[in-house]
Amino acid sequence: MSMPGGPAVKMTVKPEEVVRLKHKLEAVRDSVNDFVRDQRDALRGVPFADDEVSQDAAKDFAANADTAIQVARQFIDELDRTITGLDQAVTTYNLTDDTHAIAMQQLTKDH
């Protein structure tokens, strides 16, 4: 990798760190997904009373909760794409460097 006007820059990433990052992102994704799934109805709330103001407030609150849930799902989708990319990086690394393939496979199984 080179930058205009500067020397080439070499970036080194330890393969085991890719696997660790993947597992951490999977844990975050699973946590957010579980929260949204388990708390979806509670997030929307219910009216506190039968009056018009309470009913309107509950509708607004539900709309905001729906937006928050949608954003959380987009975040989950982005995490899934990142995790897939990390999986592909590990696969590529395993294919190009047989000396590390067994170590990478063991790391993947251990987590």
Name 2's bridge partners.
8
Q: Residue for token digits 């929307």?
A: 44
Q: What is the pLDDT of residue 101?
A: 58
CA 88/CA 66 separation, integer angstroms: 33
Phi and psi for 47 in degrees, rounded to 5? -60, 145
CA 7/CA 24 separation, integer angstroms: 34
Convert the pLDDT of each residue in 44-99 to its tens digit.
778 888 889 888 888 888 899 999 999 999 999 999 999 999 988 887 776 565 55
CA 107/CA 46 separation, integer angstroms: 47
Convert the pLDDT of each residue in 1-22 to its tens digit.
455 666 777 667 677 888 899 9
Task: Write down the CATH number for the domain with range 15-110.
Answer: 1.10.287.850
